[in-house]
């Protein structure tokens, strides 16, 4: 506070005789004949003539404001259906996310759930309002003015308020004050005034230490209690209303709590002429920059008032606004709703997708195609087609060609049918193709997801890829060509019979010619030569015809072998990679729907 300036807390001597006497600092010597009482935290002096009327009454342990039993018979707080649904969704959201998000990320949401449950069990007929402010703002003086009697110590010593003090206007608030951690010796009742009690019935007012106090424990108490109260009255003065600490540490982060917030410009008695309105307009501008909605023209938002706790100017207006606010009995639910909004906003980066997420059908097909290429499905189909043609040629070829092939097979050991196991270099290449396919599908599935869920998708894909190449090899062995020779079509016996006939014609013609040469048969070259020519020409012709006829069945046989291998590879990849990835995406969609419920927006399609 600059020299020459005095706040409501700093200038008790400026009170008129009609006002209640102000408390001197605790260090100052007491004057007057009035009784003195000092518990080490609060020092006050009551005028002897007004002692009976203005005495501060400590709440008895059996009363609603101080003891634990005082809250019995008080109806607990009831949340409406929308807020209950949001809290249930937040609880479900936290449960679904525990295995994907670290506890620090979910800590605020868990705190909101715990506090919402704790507040719901307590009185719904009371509203807890904290008075917060900086050093010298006059918040304790305003606290006393609202109570109608000196309760909280005021003076020039800083910090003046060393511990929070609670004042309850009706019984049944013990549980709420216990929740704040305020001991019974710091609980008070206001002056006995039927009109004021009726106006503020249900109010529990808490005077907090200075939020900018040099004592760390004072600031910690302010931060702790501000998380627990239903509403807060921010008291600012003409000199420190634009204080960066107030706006950046408290007002801006609490912008979503505007509906349960009062901002009071105190010490207007120090401002000349129209300066109060100018400062008030500038204060509204700063609040608007903080993102705090102002409750003007009947719109929901923070209530901004100006007053002087020292002279009493504007205090009745605040008391009236506070009384209406308490009478509505909706501050606690609005506070919890704002807390849920704040928790949802904090969780936005870990739930909001940047684009439409999920695995497209094209990505699935490309993944299956990459796996099929890795196991050589195309090569297997081509090999099956060649095997079918080779068997067709063997069955329908001329005996002499078959004999030649048999001789070639005897000379060179057969390489067998299709090699399902690749050599070492080809096996390494196949493994690389599988790993590349898994990385590609994981990147596509995680595209646009928040970092934790994208990481979960990639980890699921990597876990599934372990042992995938070996599993593909085993499936390829089972799903490849069946053992034995390929099946024979129905026309093969006819072709074999025709080929045998051509061979028989050659044999008959040859034996006829031999018989004529040795003189066993009469000479007649025409017929045996024609028979031999027919057999020699007919055999290759039958073989060529069979080869042409075998192309279609051979192609279909190769395609069937390739299809089986592709389906086997796709099924293995789906079971090991795509299904776990899809499960993670489904979990994300579930939490995204719950998050949409928490924010109060219909579940999106993302």
What is the Cβ-side half-sphere exposure of residue 604, based on CA atoms within 13 angstroms? 17
pLDDT at residue 433, as a whole number: 83
Q: Is residue 512 in a domain?
A: yes
> In the structure, what pLDDT confidence band is assigned to residue 309 with cuts at 50, 70 and 90?
very high
pLDDT at residue 237, as a whole number: 94
Q: Which residues of 522-540 are buried (b: 16+ CB within 10 A; e: fewer)?
A: eeeeeebeebbebbbebbe
Q: What is the dihedral of CA 220, 223, 224, 228, to 10 degrees?
A: 160
Same domain, 243 and 286: yes
Same domain, 167 and 304: yes
CB 318 within 8 A of CB 266: no
Q: Is residue 24 in a domain?
A: no
Out of 136-140, 281-285, 321-325, 500-504, least confident range: 500-504
Report the share of the chain in percent with pLDDT over 70: 73
Q: Is residue 207 in a domain?
A: yes
CATH (domain of 168): 3.40.50.300
From 319, 351, 383, the end of a domain falls on 351
- What's the mean per-residue pLDDT of the chain? 77
Report the share of the chain in percent with pLDDT over 90: 36
Same domain, 393 and 519: yes
The SS3 call for residue 454 is helix
Out of 45-54, 217-226, 553-562, least confident range: 45-54
pLDDT at residue 152, as a whole number: 67
Q: Which long-range contacts (CB under 8 A, 24 or more apart) does 242-249 make?
A: 242/282, 242/283, 242/286, 243/134, 243/212, 245/134, 245/211, 245/212, 246/134, 246/211, 246/212, 247/286, 247/290, 249/211
Number of domains in the chain: 3
CA proximity to 351, closest of 589, 605, 590, 592:
592
Q: Is residue 340 in a domain?
A: yes
> In the structure, what pLDDT confidence band is assigned to residue 119 with cuts at 50, 70 and 90?
very high
Same domain, 137 and 202: yes
Same domain, 151 and 258: yes
pLDDT at residue 61, as a whole number: 35
pLDDT at residue 415, as a whole number: 47
Same domain, 182 and 321: yes
**Which pair of structure tokens corresponds to residue 571?**
């099924």
Same domain, 206 and 264: yes
SS (H, E, C) 111-152: HHHHHHHHHHCCECCCEEEEEEECCCCCHHHHHHHHHCCCCC
> In the structure, what pLDDT confidence band is assigned to residue 356 with cuts at 50, 70 and 90?
confident
Out of 110-114, 382-386, 567-571, least confident range: 382-386
Out of 152-161, 348-357, 559-568, least confident range: 152-161
> In the structure, what pLDDT confidence band is assigned to residue 153 with cuts at 50, 70 and 90?
low
Q: Is residue 8 in a domain?
A: no
Q: How large is the average pLDDT for residues 83-95?
A: 93
Q: What is the DSSP letter of 69?
A: G
> In the structure, what pLDDT confidence band is assigned to residue 5 with cuts at 50, 70 and 90?
very low
**Which pair of structure tokens corresponds to residue 574?**
């789906």
Same domain, 368 and 501: yes
Q: What is the dihedral of CA 409, 412, 418, 421, to 10 degrees?
A: 160
Same domain, 301 and 215: yes
Same domain, 135 and 111: no
- Give all strands (DSSP E) within 409-562, no chain letters: none
Same domain, 324 and 275: yes
**Which pair of structure tokens corresponds to residue 7?**
């706040």
CB 496 within 8 A of CB 396: yes
Q: Is residue 135 in a domain?
A: yes
Q: How large is the average pLDDT for residues 231-239?
A: 95
pLDDT digits (tens, 9 = 90+) for 462-515: 888 888 877 777 776 666 555 555 666 656 666 667 767 777 777 777 777 777
CB 488 within 8 A of CB 395: yes
What is the per-residue DSSP string for 261-330? EEEEE--GGGS-TTHHHHHHHHHHHHHHHTTPPB--TT-SSBEEEE--TTT-TTHHHHHHHHHHHHHTT-
pLDDT at residue 406, as a whole number: 66
pLDDT at residue 341, as a whole number: 94
Q: Is residue 420 in a domain?
A: no
Query: Is residue 423 scored above 80 in pLDDT?
Result: no
265 vs 548, more confident: 265
Query: Is residue 1 scored above 70 in pLDDT?
Result: no
What is the Cβ-side half-sphere exposure of residue 303, based on CA atoms within 13 angstroms? 17
Angle at 124 between CA 122 and CA 126, to 5 degrees: 95
Strands 36-38 and 43-45: antiparallel
CA 66/CA 122 separation, integer angstroms: 14
Q: Is residue 102 in a domain?
A: yes
Chain centre distance of CA 113 = 16
Same domain, 315 and 393: no
Domain of residue 573: give its range. 361-407+426-599
pLDDT at residue 35, as a whole number: 34
């Amino acid at each position: 506070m600059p020299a020459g300036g005095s706040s409501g807390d700093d200038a008790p001597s400026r009170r008129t005789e009609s006002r209640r006497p102000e408390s001197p600092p605790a260090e100052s010597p007491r004057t007057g004949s009035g009784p003195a009482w000092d518990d080490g935290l609060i020092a006050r002096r009551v005028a002897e003539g007004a002692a009976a009327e203005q005495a501060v009454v400590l709440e008895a342990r059996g009363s609603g404001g101080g003891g634990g039993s005082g809250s019995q018979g008080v109806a607990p707080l009831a949340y409406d259906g929308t807020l209950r649904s949001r809290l249930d969704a937040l609880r479900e959201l936290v449960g679904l996310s525990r295995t994907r998000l670290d506890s620090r990320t979910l800590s605020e949401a868990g705190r909101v759930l715990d506090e919402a449950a704790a507040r719901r069990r307590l009185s719904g007929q009371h509203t807890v309002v904290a008075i917060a402010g900086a050093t010298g703002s006059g918040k304790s003086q305003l606290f006393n003015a609202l109570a109608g009697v000196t309760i909280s110590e005021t003076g020039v010593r800083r910090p003046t308020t060393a511990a929070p003090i609670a004042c309850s206007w009706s019984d049944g608030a013990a549980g709420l004050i216990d929740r704040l951690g305020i001991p019974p010796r710091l609980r008070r009742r206001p002056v006995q005034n039927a009109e004021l009690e009726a106006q503020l019935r249900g109010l529990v007012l808490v005077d907090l230490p200075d939020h900018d106090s040099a004592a760390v424990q004072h600031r910690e108490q302010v931060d702790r209690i501000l998380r627990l109260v239903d509403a807060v009255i921010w008291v600012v003065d003409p000199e420190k209303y634009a204080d960066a600490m107030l706006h950046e540490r408290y007002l801006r982060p609490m912008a979503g709590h505007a509906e349960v917030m009062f901002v009071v410009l105190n010490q207007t008695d120090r401002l000349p002429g129209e300066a109060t309105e100018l400062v008030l307009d500038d204060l509204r501008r700063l609040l608007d920059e903080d993102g705090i909605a102002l409750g003007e023209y009947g719109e929901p938002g923070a209530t901004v008032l100006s007053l002087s706790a020292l002279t009493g100017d504007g205090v009745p207006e605040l008391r009236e606004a506070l009384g209406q606010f308490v009478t509505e009995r909706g501050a606690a639910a609005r506070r919890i709703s704002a807390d849920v909004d704040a928790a949802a906003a904090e969780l936005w980066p870990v739930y909001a997708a940047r684009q439409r997420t999920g695995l497209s059908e094209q990505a699935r097909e490309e993944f299956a195609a990459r796996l099929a290429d890795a196991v050589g499905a195309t090569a297997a189909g081509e090999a099956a087609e060649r095997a079918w043609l080779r068997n067709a040629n063997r069955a329908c070829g001329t005996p002499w060609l078959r004999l030649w092939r048999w001789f070639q097979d005897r000379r060179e050991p057969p390489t067998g049918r299709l090699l399902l196991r690749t050599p070492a270099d080809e096996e390494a290449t196949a493994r690389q193709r599988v790993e590349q396919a898994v990385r590609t599908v994981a990147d596509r599935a995680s595209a646009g997801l928040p970092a934790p869920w994208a990481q979960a998708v990639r980890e699921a894909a990597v876990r599934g890829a372990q042992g995938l190449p070996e599993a593909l090899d085993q499936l390829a062995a089972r799903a490849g060509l069946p053992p034995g020779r390929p099946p024979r079509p129905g026309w093969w016996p006819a072709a074999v019979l025709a080929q045998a006939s051509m061979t028989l014609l050659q044999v008959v013609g040859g034996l006829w010619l031999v018989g004529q040469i040795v003189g066993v048969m009469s000479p007649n070259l025409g017929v045996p030569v024609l028979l031999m020519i027919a057999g020699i020409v007919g055999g290759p012709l039958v073989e060529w015809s069979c080869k042409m006829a075998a192309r279609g069945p051979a192609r279909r046989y190769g395609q069937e072998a390739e299809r089986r291998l592709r389906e086997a590879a796709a099924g293995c990849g789906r079971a090991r990679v795509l299904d776990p990835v899809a499960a993670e995406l489904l979990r994300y969609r579930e939490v995204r729907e719950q998050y949409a419920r928490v924010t109060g927006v219909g579940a999106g399609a993302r």
